Structure 1
Amino acid sequence: MNTLFNLIVVVQVISALLIIGLVLLQHGKGADMGAAFGSGASGSLFGASGSSNFMSKSTGVAAAIFFASTLALAYFGTDRQATVSGGVMERAPVTGPAAIPTTPAAPAAAPVDPSVPTAAAPAPAPALRSAADPAASPPAPAVPAPATQVPK
């Protein structure tokens, strides 16, 4: 399996270099105009049509080989397991709040230092009373507001 993978990588690199070379050797669109005025293209190695037909077909074949080797590398590179996993985080060590035990240990009693003053304990909150209870009504104001004064 490893040998086949390495062979496909070599084929892909060679086809990539071949594509680069063939693209650089091809004539641009402006080269056809010079051939129309008698640059001697009919006597070339590839015939009267010139090298463009051969080069473009060779580039297409090299591109198809490159594409096929890329698909093969993607196929061999994937992990084809039938099980669904949680990915990388499934193998990560558990830390933080999830790692704290569910039953907390009792806090150790701290020794009391008699030289440190302690604060007085807060007064307990008053009990809630119902609306029917007459003692639950708010206290009356100390001085009633005059009736002639209108609030602004």
Structure 2
Amino acid sequence: MEAIKSLIQVFNVLSALAIIVLVLLQHGKGADMGAAFGSGSSGSLFGATGSANFMSRATAVCAIIFFLSLIFLVKLGAGSAGTQDVGVMSGVVQSAPAKQAAPVKPVQDDKQSSIPN
């Protein structure tokens, strides 16, 4: 079971690194504006339009792999917990509810009652 967890963790980390690299390699929306004025080249390794499609598809595939591996890790982790109470409030001891104090009467101000309408 631990070998499977380790393998899924490796896929998770590799897909996260691939997403980071692919996002950093992609052109931004404003990158073509600079090329229109002559600064920089608009050519790329996969062609002018092919790189955006290839990079965006590769990023989407890596994101799907990342989220699927993350879901599998959660499922494996939840299966090993069993019936143990591992919630946030599991260590808090429940005590008897405190007695409520008697309601406080509002204090009337004598100045308001002496003012004529």
TM-score (norm 1): 0.48
Q: Does the CA-based 8 Å contact 2:32-2:42 persist in structure 1?
A: no
- Provide the C-alpha distance between the structure 1 equivalents of 2:12 and 2:32, rounded to a whole number of angstroms: 32
1:78 corresponding residue in structure 2: 78
- Provide the C-alpha distance between the structure 1 equivalents of 2:65 and 2:3, rounded to a whole number of angstroms: 19
Q: Is structure 2 residue 72 aligned with structure 1 residue 64?
A: no
- Provide the C-alpha distance between the structure 1 equivalents of 2:34 and 2:23, rounded to a whole number of angstroms: 20
- Provide the C-alpha distance between the structure 1 equivalents of 2:49 and 2:72, rounded to a whole number of angstroms: 36
For residue 34 of structure 1, report the CA deviation from its aligned partner.
Answer: 3.2
Cα separation, partners in 2 of 1:48 and 1:25, compared to 1, 3 Å = closer
- Provide the C-alpha distance between the structure 2 equivalents of 1:40 and 1:25, rounded to a whole number of angstroms: 14
Q: Does the CA-based 8 Å contact 2:26-2:55 persist in structure 1?
A: yes
- Provide the C-alpha distance between the structure 2 equivalents of 1:12 and 1:28, rounded to a whole number of angstroms: 26
For residue 25 of structure 1, report the CA deviation from its aligned partner.
Answer: 1.1
Give the secondary-structure state (helix, strand or coil) at the position aligned to 2:70.
helix
TM-score (norm 2): 0.60
For residue 53 of structure 1, report the CA deviation from its aligned partner.
Answer: 1.5
Q: Deviations over 1:14-64 (max 9, x none)?
A: 1011111111111111112234467352xx431231522211111111000
2:47 corresponding residue in structure 1: 47
2:11 corresponding residue in structure 1: 11
Give the secondary-structure state (helix, strand or coil) at the position aligned to 2:48.
coil
Higher helix share: 2
- Provide the C-alpha distance between the structure 2 equivalents of 1:10 and 1:55, rounded to a whole number of angstroms: 22
- Provide the C-alpha distance between the structure 1 equivalents of 2:24 and 2:48, rounded to a whole number of angstroms: 21
Give the secondary-structure state (helix, strand or coil) at the position aligned to 1:51.
helix
Q: Which has the larger Rg?
A: 1
Q: Is structure 2 residue 24 aligned with structure 1 residue 24?
A: yes
Give the secondary-structure state (helix, strand or coil) at the position aligned to 1:28.
coil
Percent identity between the two aligned chains: 58
Unpaired segments of 5 or more residues in structure 2? 92-117
For residue 79 of structure 1, report the CA deviation from its aligned partner.
Answer: 3.1
**Greater RCO structure (CA 8 Å; 6+ sep):** 2
